[in-house]
Amino acid sequence: MQAAQCSKPARPTKASELKARPIVLKLGGSVITHKDVPFSANEPAIERLAGEIAEAMVPQLVIVHGGGSFGHPLAKKYVIKDGFNGKFSQLLGFSETHQAMITLNNMILKALIHCNIPAFSIAPSSTIVSKSGRMVAKIDERLKRLLHIGLVPLLYGDAVLDSDRVFTILSGDQLVVAAAIQLDAERIVIGVEGDGLFKSDPKLGRGDLIRTCTLQQLKELGKQSRKTSAHDVTGGMQGKIAELVPAVEKGITVTIVNACKPQRVCKALRGEEVIGTIIRRE
Ligand code: IP8
């Protein structure tokens, strides 16, 4: 990986900043990887985003990233989400899926540290056992401790143990919402491949970007939207909308921006005016 584009180093954390409510940022797998080429990281995008995150200087930040072309092809090949089928080959697939996520995570971690962001990786599979694919217990208390001392917890969608299915896939979107609710986050910022939520599918040439969206409208959109990506075992945009509902119900504002376009993530993190969709309870 080449030198990251860091316009500014992350500032040292002041005691007052440690009291700020956190922001939870999701870096979509389609942004940080080339989704159609297995195991291909989009290194320029990772480096640019690390630079933007440093530039935004968010006092309390949690970062979660998706699987993209690392986690999803293996999860699909070995049908990990549905649980253990009793075959040894699937055990190897479970290992490989997790390994692929560690590899991608390490690239992101490296880019963040290179930009002076004190990121600290937590493997969800080491702390979470899901139930029928859903997180039932709270996220590890260590997350709060890391934030409290000024570190930036870094999580990712992962292959995890499951009390009903033996194992499954836990999406980064579930983690984002669970972390935001448990940490009483101020906002969630979701960086995706498109400009935000659309009234209809832009790929069909009919879409209008929704700039602001209420909880009610989000629920309606969830019913209308389709599974958008054949590569994605966790439901694409439809899955994302469904996951976001409980966070918006709790009053957490969500901003969805195009993380492929420079400065959008930085502006969204700073709470500045940006092209995207802002979702508020009302
Ligand atoms: O991309 C899924 O996370 P997501 C992670 O956030 C794996 O849905 C392992 C496929």
Q: For 19-38, write each residue's pLDDT tens digit.
A: 789 999 999 999 999 999 99
Give the type of residue at 127: T
- Would residue 109 be called left, alpha or beta, if left means φ above 0 and alpha means ψ between -120 and 50 degrees? alpha
Q: pLDDT at position 167, please?
A: 98
CB distance 240 to ligand 1 below 6 Å? no
CA pair distance 257, 189, nearest whole angstrom: 7
In this predicted structure, the answer to whether residue 3 has a pLDDT above a threshold of 50 is: no
**CA 12–ligand 1 middle distance (angstroms):** 32
CB-side neighbour CA atoms (13 Å) of 29: 33
CA pair distance 255, 265, nearest whole angstrom: 10
Interior angle at CA 187, CA 182 and CA 191, nearest 5: 110
29 closest CA partner among 76, 83, 61: 76
Q: Where would I find the H helices in the chain?
A: 29-32, 43-56, 68-77, 88-114, 124-127, 142-148, 172-182, 215-224, 236-249, 264-270
Pick the residue whose CA is nearest to atom 8 on ligand 1: 171
**CA 157–ligand 1 middle distance (angstroms):** 4
CB distance 243 to ligand 1 below 6 Å? no
**CA 63–ligand 1 middle distance (angstroms):** 14
- Probe target for ligand 1 pocket from 79, 234, 241, with the most ligand atoms within 8 Å of CB: 234
For the CA of 74, the nearest atom of ligand 1: 10
- Which of 31-35, 39-43, 61-65, 237-241 bottoms out in mean pLDDT, i.e. has the lowest? 237-241
> What integer best gives the mean pLDDT of the chain?
91
- Probe target for ligand 1 pocket from 101, 174, 192, with the most ligand atoms within 8 Å of CB: 101
**CA 234–ligand 1 middle distance (angstroms):** 6
Q: pLDDT at position 222, please?
A: 84
Q: Look up the pTM and report it.
A: 0.92
In this predicted structure, the answer to whether residue 165 has a pLDDT above a threshold of 60 is: yes
In this predicted structure, the answer to whether residue 204 has a pLDDT above a threshold of 60 is: no
- pLDDT average, residue stretch 256-261: 98
CB distance 171 to ligand 1 below 6 Å? yes
CB distance 231 to ligand 1 below 6 Å? no
Considering only residues 205 and 166, tell me which one the structure prediction assigns the higher pLDDT: 166
User: How far is residue 127 CA from its own chain's centroid?
Assistant: 17
